[in-house]
Amino acid sequence: MKILVTGGAGYIGSHTCVQLIDKGWQPVILDSLVNSKVSVLDRIESITGHRPPFIKGDVRDADLLSKLLSEHSVEAVIHFAGLKAVGESVAQPLRYYDNNVHGSVVLMQAMQKCAVKTLVFSSSATVYGHAFAPPWNEQVPTAPANPYGRSKLMVDQIMGDMAAADAACSMTSLRYFNPVGAHASGLMGEDPQGTPNNLMPYLAQVAVGRLEALQIYGTDYDTPDGTGVRDYIHVTDLAQGHIAALAYAHGQPGHHVFNLGSGQGHSVMDMLKAFGKACGRELPYTLSPRRPGDVAAYWANPQHARNTLGWHAEKSIDDMCQDTWRWQSSNPNGYL
């Protein structure tokens, strides 16, 4: 099967391309490189022995998309391309709606024109309302708290409308919890531009000496150790979830929504300790006030994916930290 992978040069997309190739499927990558480097293709090739076709371009380019879908005889699309920084989305909402929502509409229009019926989309647990006690299943009411989250929910809703309008459409929204980790080879991993916003890449840069100390945002939450609790999922488990979702959804019309998480919550302190163990030294940290907009604790109920896709996350937080450390220590400045 030939699969268009938008945003395939990015963190989750590149790991998913490796597993698509392992399965014998053929990814075709479209990426504008707004948040990634083309050298990731060398890494995909080193790991798999195969270099997928790469097109530098934007999902909002309707002509390019139609050309790609038909010239490559694409049968399904995995749509990772999007902007993902919550704070940036608050400051630049139109940029986020244009890129994430308009980009997805242009993609679906091109798919409709070229009769490509299967779409798997990177949604997020951030679409859920924060007032609900975890674990969160797919029925938790949606109430995203920022433009980024709203852009994800809008696309989910448009996909639902498309599935209702066309009985042959298969639309799958995958709601990721907190993706972390790296490929076990150490050749691929997360490479944020500038100072990382997220816990795991921040820890990795402290460990490698690029940053001084982790600031723990909030130590007075109603959690076992007072620090925030999240559902961390290894990026290769997440990539495997896409393979399972695509295998299920291709030829299965409707709007399918799945949580992809481990089903377990871990605190900031748990992650700090696990990373210290992985890199062989205690990492420096400071205690800071809560970060505005953060919630105390949430994690997934991933039963629907387990029951329907036969998929579940297998890797532990020790695996996540060890693999991240292998990636960061062998690529201290990320991709070149």
Beta-bridge mates of residue 311: none
| Single-letter amino acid code for the residue at 282 | E
Exposed, middle or buried, 307 (CB in 10 Å: 0-12/13-18/19+)?
A: exposed
Q: Which does 323 bind (CB under 5 to 8 A by kind): ligand WQD, ligand NAD, none?
A: none
**Candidate residues 97, 132, 217, 335; the one interacting with ligand WQD per rule CB under 6 A:** 217
Q: Judged by CB, which is closer to ligand WQD: 26, or 124? A: 124
Short-list 126, 163, 131, CA closest to 145: 126
Which listed range, 15-23, 65-73, 209-217, 305-313, lies at the site for ligand WQD (CB under 6 A)? 209-217
Structure tokens at 70: 């038909």
199 binds ligand WQD (CB under 6 A): yes
Per-residue contact flags (x/-) with ligand NAD for residues 124 to 163, judged by CB under 6 A? x---------------------------------------
289 binds ligand WQD (CB under 6 A): no
178 binds ligand WQD (CB under 6 A): yes
CA distance 176 to 261: 6
Exposed, middle or buried, 165 (CB in 10 Å: 0-12/13-18/19+)?
A: exposed
126 binds ligand WQD (CB under 6 A): yes
84 binds ligand NAD (CB under 6 A): yes
CA distance 267 to 310: 27
CB 249 within 8 A of CB 77: no
Residue number closest to ligand WQD, CB atom: 228
**Candidate residues 179, 189, 241, 261; the one interacting with ligand NAD per rule CB under 6 A:** 179
For residue 24, the minimal CB distance to ligand WQD (Å) is 30
CA distance 40 to 53: 13
Interacting residue ranges for ligand WQD, rule: CB under 6 A? 84, 86, 124, 126, 178, 197-199, 202, 214-218, 228, 230, 268, 291, 294
